[in-house]
Structure 1
Amino acid sequence: MKKYLFFIVAFLIAISSFSQEEKAEAKWIPRDPQKFESSHSGTFNGQKITFKSIVGETFLKNSKGEVTGAMWSTSYVREGVDSSRRPVMFVFNGGPGSASVWLHMGFFGPKVVKIDTEAKQDDGVAPYRFVENNQALLDLTDLVFIDPIGTGFSQIEGIGKTSDFWGLNEDAASIAQFMRIWVTQNGRWQAPKFLAGESFGTTRAAKVAEVLEGGGQNMALNGIILISQALDYAGSSSWADNLTSFFTYLPSQAVTAWYHGKAGQGKTIEAFAKEARDFAYSEYLPSLFLGEKQTQAQKEATAERLAYFTGLDKKYILQSENQILMHRFKKELLRAEGKAIGTLDGRFLALETDKSSEGPMLGDPSDYMTSAAYTAVFNDYLMRDLKVKMDRPYLSSASGMGGSWNWKPVPEGAYYEPSYVSTARSLSEVMHRNTQLQVMVANGYYDLITPFFDAEFTFARHDFPQDRIQMTYYEAGHMMYNRQEDFDALAKDVRKFLEGMLK
């Protein structure tokens, strides 16, 4: 009897739930999009520029014209110029589930936050350093920072559901729709157009570039900037049995060990990185695929070489079958000192509460030693500088998105077998159809989540047109702009990349 009562109660709850959703849909009343505008000025690349900031929402619609979501963005638009052919760059971060606050406040915005450039100190407590960014690109291009649905102030509206947006294909379609609306409303169809994405934002950028070719409104991009690329997840997923990842992560482990004084001493980072690359291709890759077909002597020879590059104990490497998972490396490298290193940036380290754990216990020090500064500065900046008044919080990351994300690259209902996510082929094919598209790939040597060697491995395959791919390297991690020397170098490289296409 209890069993039947349970099903009856569950059924009634389900009915109530559906009716509430219907009421919620009925309650949505068409309205004008919210918008907050303010005027500013600054000096960028030596030019005094006046510009307008627009923080506002754009309503996204389904094929029937029904509103499904409100996507918020922050646009910086130069004033006093003919905007019809003025370049525009669309910027987003990754996750999935991250707002654009990191690239906005860390690198591209007219003002940026500053943390310890040498990654030795925690960001601490407020007040934080917030400075004018004289290297911002507003002399060259307008900037549009996009917050995907579920992040920032962006949210479901009308008849929308999270499943309409929280997926590889769904996300790209929503960003592409936003871009077309923005370009139309601002009269920029004849303007050069650029994308800049970081981490999953690079996965997204490749897919968005593909989606923009369809839909009856083909929008060709001039250039894409990939910061800490993640186009093919086989090379950036350090999981057991994923042989590709052991290969792609090794050079990052080597240069990180070099940084902490555990390997490669007396050599430059470039020389040691090259040595690790050569070993990975010529010796380590065959060893990984030979597996148990190797003799014990062969295994020991490989372990000895891995110890040379990673700074780890040879016995530990042999116990690990010559396959060092990244979360173990982050703990093992400085275990004797009771420290664990960062994921986003291997320069960061922190004392651990549990010195015997397999991997870091406190989380990622390169995340928790920087995120408070970004969050506090941006929230203050929204209110004081951009004059935004909202009755709900700006979410730098989406709650619950990760577990609800649809990674399938095929339409709903189509046959699919699980595989590593990859949008590399999509971008390659876009570049073959759009023969003017240029791509810049910015890599951090100490990035232990999207390794620089994986970028090289990815772009050496998939039939990418090599003459239109530009690789750059920096002595920091995932967010290389957190190190001032690399902020300056990246700003110079991005500017040169853009100027080469805007001649």
Structure 2
Amino acid sequence: MRLLPLVSVAALMIATAATAQTEADKGGGKGKSIEALHKEAVAEEAEAGWARAPVEEREVVTRHSVRVGGKTLGYAATAGTLTLRDAVGKPEASIFYTAYTLDGTKPGTKRPVMFFFNGGPGSASLWLHMGSFAPVRLTTGNPEYIRPAPFDFGPNPDTLLGTTDLVFIDAPGAGYSRPLGDAKPSDFYGVDQDVDAFARAILRYSTKFGRWNSPKFILGESYGTLRAGALAHQLQERGMALNGVILLSSIMNYGVRQPGFDQIYLTYLPSYAATAWYHNRLPSRPETVEEAVAAARQFAEGPYAAALAKGQTISPEERDAVAQRMSELTGLSADFIKRANLRVDLSRFRKELLRDDRITVGRFDSRYTGVDGDAAGEGPDFDASSEAISGAFIGSLNGYLTHELGYKTDMTYRLSARDAPGFEWDWSHAAPGTRREQTTPNTAVDLSVAMRTNPYLKVLSLNGYYDMATPFYGTEYDLRHMMLEPAQQRNLQFTYYPAGHMTYLNPDALRQMTADIERFVGEAVAEARSGTPPVAP
């Protein structure tokens, strides 16, 4: 989800930058690193009495109830912090979370618990928290722009609380999560650093609230799926074997997005077909989106892949035939496709599909449409699917935490750690079993190791047909190249919904997802209790 900076945070960043420039002009900042300037800024904040995250862990607990499936579920909502400490006990970070636990849940319980997080990287988890499986939810349409305040926010009959307790975690530097003391930005802002922080937070929560004997699941969205793959392996390395990993709108392999590598065009083709089907731009429109997608998959895996592999040596006759078939599948003209060398970038597709109507389609959810100032432009001016919902999510979260859950603080709830001083993401990743560090991470490798070493670990991939930020065909490619044996392959499941990146915006998709996850959790818990993992035939 694209994140919007807060004015107060932007002002703070400008002020910090101005202070650093002044020091540089005086010679005091000359040659200083970003981390050194960050450390000085932290000290200045402390002296000035600026709002800081608590070193001591804090919990604010309130009692509520929600009606689900004809039953009233009483629950405790806890807005609190977890303190991450180094090997000698020195505090390094305060991690903010919101937990929902069914009444009567006690330490040592065998009731499942699920940990949720958004992506970014560096995103707060307000999107999942406010829109998906918590006992409260922002009401959304299908698809429509959400009106300004007052927002339709209230009990969620599609919550997962009847099946599992839920814990929503904000990434370091985002939400109310903050580094502590002299911890440096580079301690948290990177693939492996971020995974380490989440692993420590989950371990700390499980220890503090007595959840080591609970079946445990993690659910990540977007970049959160890249985190989830590595996190499953890291938790297992630290003695916590998960029951299940749920991947929502996945991007686990950043290597497929490299220039000159044609896999990304194969990845997008089925999503282009789904979008063209939805907007009725196919010359021979199939009855269902599933049929449109199946035809595009078949073409991408065969003739299209073969054509792209030939590069500039492709014959004119084959180029014409491939362009014509792509036109039939995507709704774009064959001439436009040939001028793009059979390789249509996402931005061009979003602008071209409905150009004759002077509208564009969304990136996070291609069902949404927008209007640009220039209908002749190369790409869309903005993502309509992001602008349509951001204000309502942000407004609901801020009001809910403060006034309903009673969490009081002078800090600003950051939508992203990208708004924090010193943010610079380290994309290097040390995948298990690899001989060198990856600079374009692929944590499907980590997940495959976790699945092979934990035969009970189940993985559920949730996908939206109209998600063009993390297209579903790319997820299929990544997860089907983990080289699992037949026994582990049976632990991997895929589900699809008529929705976009944030699949839960579609109320019907949310209801079906809830049922799918409840089934998934039930099967994983039952299998672990039976002690009979799947075996190869």
TM-score, normalised to structure 1, is 0.92
Q: Name the residue aligned to 1:222.
A: 243
1:493 correspondence with 2:516: yes
What pairs up with 1:255-404 in 2 under 5 angstroms?
255-263=274-282, 264-361=284-381, 363-400=382-419, 404=424
Task: Give the Å deviation of 1:108.
Answer: 1.3
Between stretches 434-443 and 307-316, larger displacement belongs to 307-316
Work out the CA distance in 1 between the residues paired with 2:209 and 2:102.
Answer: 12
Task: Give the Å deviation of 1:13.
Answer: 5.3
CA contact (8 A) 2:190 2:428 kept: yes
CA contact (8 A) 1:234 1:245 kept: no
1:10 correspondence with 2:27: yes
Q: Name the residue aligned to 2:130.
A: 105
Deviations 1:321-345 (A, max 9, x none): 0000011100011111111110010
CA contact (8 A) 1:346 1:366 kept: yes
Work out the CA distance in 1 between the residues paired with 2:427 and 2:53.
Answer: 33
Work out the CA distance in 1 between the residues paired with 2:490 and 2:202.
Answer: 28
Task: Give the Å deviation of 1:397.
Answer: 2.3
Work out the CA distance in 2 between the residues paired with 1:202 and 1:29.
Answer: 27
Q: Name the residue aligned to 2:91.
A: 67
Deviations 1:276-327 (A, max 9, x none): 1100111000111111221111111111111111111111111110000011
Work out the CA distance in 1 between the residues paired with 2:204 and 2:220.
Answer: 19
Residue 100 to residue 26, structure 1, CA distance change in 2 (3 Å): closer
Q: Name the residue aligned to 2:205.
A: 182
CA contact (8 A) 1:25 1:159 kept: no
1:58 correspondence with 2:82: yes
Task: Give the Å deviation of 1:21.
Answer: 5.9
Residue 51 to residue 418, structure 1, CA distance change in 2 (3 Å): closer
Residue 251 to residue 23, structure 1, CA distance change in 2 (3 Å): closer
User: Structure 1: which amino acid aligns with 2:354?
Assistant: L
Three-state SS of the structure 2 residue aligned to 1:429 is: helix
1:138 correspondence with 2:138: no
1:86 correspondence with 2:86: no
Task: Give the Å deviation of 1:418.
Answer: 6.5
Task: Give the Å deviation of 1:19.
Answer: 8.2
CA contact (8 A) 2:273 2:329 kept: yes
TM-score, normalised to structure 2, is 0.86
1:251 correspondence with 2:270: yes
CA contact (8 A) 1:50 1:79 kept: yes
Work out the CA distance in 1 between the residues paired with 2:463 and 2:455.
Answer: 24
Q: 1:41 aligns with which of 65, 82, 100?
A: 65
Deviations 1:57-92 (A, max 9, x none): 111122332211111001112222444122111100
User: Structure 2: which amino acid aligns with 1:377?
Assistant: S
Deviations 1:83-133 (A, max 9, x none): 41221111001111211111111111111111222x1x3212111211311
CA contact (8 A) 1:222 1:501 kept: yes
Residue 357 to residue 48, structure 1, CA distance change in 2 (3 Å): same
Task: Give the Å deviation of 1:24.
Answer: 5.6
Task: Give the Å deviation of 1:11.
Answer: 4.8
Between stretches 56-65 and 203-212, larger displacement belongs to 56-65
Task: Give the Å deviation of 1:9.
Answer: 3.9
Deviations 1:149-193 (A, max 9, x none): 111111111121111000000000000001111101111111100
> How many residues matched?
489
Q: Name the residue aligned to 1:456.
A: 476
Work out the CA distance in 2 between the residues paired with 1:445 and 1:435.
Answer: 30
Task: Give the Å deviation of 1:268.
Answer: 1.6
Between stretches 57-66 and 275-284, larger displacement belongs to 57-66
CA contact (8 A) 1:60 1:70 kept: yes
RMSD, matched Cα: 2.5
Work out the CA distance in 2 between the residues paired with 1:22 and 1:149.
Answer: 15
Work out the CA distance in 2 between the residues paired with 1:213 and 1:222.
Answer: 11
Work out the CA distance in 1 between the residues paired with 2:359 and 2:54.
Answer: 55
Work out the CA distance in 1 between the residues paired with 2:515 and 2:131.
Answer: 15
Task: Give the Å deviation of 1:357.
Answer: 1.5
CA contact (8 A) 2:429 2:437 kept: no
Q: Name the residue aligned to 2:7.
A: none
Unaligned ranges ≥5, structure 2: 1-22, 527-537
Work out the CA distance in 2 between the residues paired with 1:22 and 1:82.
Answer: 39
Task: Give the Å deviation of 1:267.
Answer: 2.9
Between stretches 86-95 and 418-427, larger displacement belongs to 418-427
Three-state SS of the structure 1 residue aligned to 2:490 is: helix
Percent identity over the alignment?
35
Work out the CA distance in 2 between the residues paired with 1:188 and 1:498.
Answer: 16
Q: Name the residue aligned to 2:150.
A: 127
Residue 281 to residue 36, structure 1, CA distance change in 2 (3 Å): same
Work out the CA distance in 2 between the residues paired with 1:487 and 1:392.
Answer: 32
Task: Give the Å deviation of 1:377.
Answer: 1.1
Q: 2:218 aligns with which of 188, 195, 198?
A: 195
Work out the CA distance in 1 between the residues paired with 2:260 and 2:168.
Answer: 38
1:433 correspondence with 2:450: no
Three-state SS of the structure 1 residue aligned to 2:245 is: strand
CA contact (8 A) 1:53 1:76 kept: yes
1:115 correspondence with 2:140: yes
Residue 311 to residue 388, structure 1, CA distance change in 2 (3 Å): same
User: Structure 2: which amino acid aligns with 1:223?
Assistant: G
Task: Give the Å deviation of 1:249.
Answer: 0.7
Between stretches 385-394 and 170-179, larger displacement belongs to 385-394
CA contact (8 A) 1:67 1:159 kept: no
Q: Name the residue aligned to 1:233.
A: 254
Between stretches 29-38 and 201-210, larger displacement belongs to 29-38
Deviations 1:204-225 (A, max 9, x none): 01111111122xx410000111
